[in-house]
């Protein structure tokens, strides 16, 4: 029997964050794709294999789960350089977009082809058969609408193939992906798990266990607000909104283009401008260092006010809440604005993760903890059954 490898994947609106195996491998890919042709032009093709595969992901994806089957894509960094680059749009459902699946399959295929996994998966010439046990998630809004069931069924019971075309080191390899199990978790619940438990699901924040907590997860396209009471997410009070940072990032990008004549390749470039440690909120216009503080402050403060309004409304309906944690990539972008608003207005007990990396990787870490726990219990049960069968003989 082919061994199943753990995959915990957060297909975020900004980037895919993935953890594989027993936490020995991590992957970060910008969530950008672009339709392409099979023979994409490459300068210095003889040097292709000296480059990083993540900088040149060029694949054909075949899957019954896709609306647009057998299409060819540039993915991640390579896609950001295309004129027809596609990022998830506001109002879209993550569970129903081909882009979500393309990013999911691409990240798994990139793990499967790594040389260190040659002993894990069966290889026949240039075809790799890879089995995975997957933990992933969807926004609370989609989970409450029951879309997790359809999403899971798309993945289970089918073979999904990723063929590497002109990709450094992996050109010509094909990966057949099969899922032995798929767990789709609501993002708010996952955030709570990550707050209170370590990788082995041991309690690390005992003081949070019995507190009434709000978790406001600000993503690219949506915001999830989970209300935690008695160690569980209150399904009736949990809310999801089609309000993320994407529209604000696009507004900043457009205003920079209009005002300064500078064309930024993607939202990723905007995020870098507003979060970098040095020279934050500055760009270069014809070689001159130029502030865009007026643009970013106005647009991001407006978004922060909307996010704060949601917090206020939820807190009023849950008056015995003790603390609200802001998490997600959007919280990193809006942290300073939300803190200022809170200090000047209601003064709620709110907190952020000072380690921005921890906030960005929170969902992937949570999915890993949950799927690893499932995987461990499943294998323990199978081992017990095998021992009983052997004893019976």
Render pLDDT for 18-61 as a digit per residue (tens, 0 to 9). 999 998 899 999 999 999 988 777 655 556 777 899 999 999 99
CA dist 176 and 162 (Å) reads 7
Burial group, residue 125, by CB count within 10 angstroms (0-12, 13-18, 19+): exposed
- Residue 276: the pLDDT is 84
Mean of the per-residue pLDDT values of the chain: 88
Architecture in CATH of 4-185:
2-Layer Sandwich (3.30)
pLDDT digits over 175-219, tens only? Answer: 999 999 999 998 777 778 877 888 777 888 777 777 889 999 888
Q: What is the pTM of this model?
A: 0.85
**Beta strands 4-11 and 127-138, pairing class:** parallel
Query: What is the predicted pLDDT for the residue at 290?
Result: 95
| High-pLDDT (> 70) share of the chain, % | 94
3-state secondary structure of 381: helix
Asked whether residue 1 carries a pLDDT value surpassing 50, the answer given is no
| pLDDT of res. 392 | 55
Nearest-angstrom CA–CA distance, 31 and 236: 31
Q: What is the pLDDT of residue 235?
A: 72
Burial of 292 (C-beta count, 10 Å sphere; 0-12/13-18/19+): buried
What residues have CB less than 8 Å from 327, skipping those under 6 apart?
Answer: 191, 215, 216, 217, 218, 353, 359, 362
pLDDT tens digit sequence for 255-276: 999 999 999 877 878 988 998 8
Which pLDDT value is given to residue 108? 98
In degrees and rounded to multiples of 5, residue 81 shows phi and psi of -90, 0
Write down the pLDDT at residue 345. 92
Tokens of 376: 């461990």
Q: Say how far apart CA 69 and CA 60 lie, in whole Å.
A: 9
User: What is the location of CATH 3.30.420.40 in the chain?
Assistant: 4-185, 210-360
pLDDT value for 62: 97
pLDDT at 354: 66
State both tokens at 329: 């990539």
Does the domain formed by 210-360 have CATH 3.40.50.300?
Answer: no
Query: pLDDT tens-digit profile of 334-393?
Result: 999 999 999 999 899 999 876 777 778 888 999 999 999 899 888 776 655 555 555 555
Using the predicted structure, report yes or no on whether residue 282 has a pLDDT greater than 60.
yes
Per the CB < 8 A criterion, the answer to whether 134 and 181 are in contact is yes
């Amino acid at each position: 029997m082919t061994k199943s490898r753990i995959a915990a994947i957060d297909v975020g609106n900004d980037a895919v964050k993935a953890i594989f195996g027993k936490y020995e491998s991590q992957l970060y890919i910008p969530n950008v794709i672009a339709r392409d042709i099979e023979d994409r032009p490459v300068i210095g093709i003889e040097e292709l294999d000296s480059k990083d595969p993540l900088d040149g992901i060029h694949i054909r994806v075949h899957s019954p789960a896709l609306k647009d089957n057998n299409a060819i894509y540039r993915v991640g960094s390579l896609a950001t350089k295309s004129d027809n680059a596609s990022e998830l749009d506001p109002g879209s459902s993550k569970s129903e977009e081909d882009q979500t699946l393309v990013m999911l399959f691409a990240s798994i295929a990139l793990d499967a082809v790594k040389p260190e996994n040659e002993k894990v998966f069966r290889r026949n010439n240039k075809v790799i058969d890879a089995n995975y046990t997957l933990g992933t998630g969807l926004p609370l809004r989609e989970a409450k609408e029951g879309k997790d069931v359809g999403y899971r069924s798309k993945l289970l019971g089918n073979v999904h193939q990723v063929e590497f075309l002109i990709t450094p080191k992996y050109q010509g390899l094909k990966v057949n992906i099969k899922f032995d199990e798929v767990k789709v978790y609501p993002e708010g619940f996952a955030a709570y798990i990550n707050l209170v438990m370590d990788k082995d699901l041991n309690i690390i924040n005992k003081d949070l266990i019995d507190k009434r907590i709000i978790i406001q997860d600000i993503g690219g396209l949506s915001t999830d607000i989970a209300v935690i009471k008695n160690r569980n997410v209150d399904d009736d009070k949990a809310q999801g909104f089609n309000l993320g940072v994407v529209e604000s990032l696009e507004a900043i990008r457009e205003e920079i283009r209009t005002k300064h004549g500078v064309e930024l390749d993607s939202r990723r470039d905007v995020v870098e401008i507003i979060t970098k440690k040095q020279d934050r909120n500055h760009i270069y216009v014809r070689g001159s260092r130029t502030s865009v503080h007026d643009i970013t402050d106005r647009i991001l403060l407006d978004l922060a006010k909307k996010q704060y309004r949601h917090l206020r409304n939820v807190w009023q309906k849950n008056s015995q809440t003790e603390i609200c944690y802001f998490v997600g990539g959007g919280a990193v972008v809006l942290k300073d604005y939300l803190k200022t608003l809170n200090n000047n207005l209601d003064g709620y007990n709110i907190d952020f993760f000072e380690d921005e990396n921890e906030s960005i990787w929170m969902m992937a870490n949570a999915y890993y903890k949950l799927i690893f726990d499932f995987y461990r219990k499943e294998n323990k049960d199978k081992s017990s059954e095998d021992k009983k069968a052997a004893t019976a003989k």
